[in-house]
Structure 1
Amino acid sequence: MAMGPLITAAVVLAGINVVLLLPLVGVWARNYATFRTGLVAGLLAFAVAMLAENAMAVYFFFSMQSFYAGDPHVQEAVLVLRSLQFVAIVGLSYTTLR
């Protein structure tokens, strides 16, 4: 079964989120090694959890296409959630990497 445009967009956003989170993990891991503060540890844990969640989402999109393809409302919800994550990760990336 082919993926529809909404779920395809959600998969693309999850992939972009993974790409954006990789440098954040690197920066925050380096900062934690230097400063050893709870705040940086929390940021690092957040980035690792979001990276794992988005990587698993991409995997599940491809391994369980029929699960997402059945209901257009589910596809819309998944796309909205991936879009909100993308906006949040872009904000964190901009703030962290500038």
Structure 2
Amino acid sequence: MIANIATPAAMGVAGINSVLLLILVSVWVRNYRQFGSPMILGLLGFSSVLLIENLIALAFFFSSMQALYSMDPLAGQVVLGMRLLELIAIGFLSYATLQ
């Protein structure tokens, strides 16, 4: 039963991560155009890679690959845990960036 909840929850968290990352990318693109700092370029690259990873995860969820997580309850729980840890990290980064 938990796996049935964990997999969609993990994909919901991936969606939230994607939205936060889109916000960060837009802020850092604007800042890079204004300042041209290599640090901002690094943050932009970092967030772009994470955004692509989350979008691929969502694409796999809506494809036939969803069965991989649904077959093993532990896999769904681990994926949810990893997505939640990523959300916490992105949350800290978003808070610091938007201050």
TM-score band, normalised by the shorter chain?
over 0.9
The structure 1 segments of at least 4 consecutive aligned residues displaced by more than 2 Å after TM superposition are none
For structure 1, the 5+ residue unaligned runs are: none
For structure 2, the 5+ residue unaligned runs are: none
> Scaled by the length of structure 2, what TM-score is found?
0.92
Q: Does 1:8 pair with 2:8?
A: yes
Q: Does 1:23 pair with 2:23?
A: yes
> Scaled by the length of structure 1, what TM-score is found?
0.93
Residue in structure 2 matched with residue 96 of structure 1 by the alignment: 97
CA distance in 2 between partners of 1:27 and 1:59 (Å): 25
CA distance in 2 between partners of 1:31 and 1:20 (Å): 17
1:31-50 to structure 2, matched below 5 A, reads 31-50=31-50
CA distance in 2 between partners of 1:22 and 1:97 (Å): 13
Aligned residue for 1:4, secondary structure, equals helix
Report the aligned-residue RMSD. 1.1
Residue in structure 1 matched with residue 75 of structure 2 by the alignment: 74
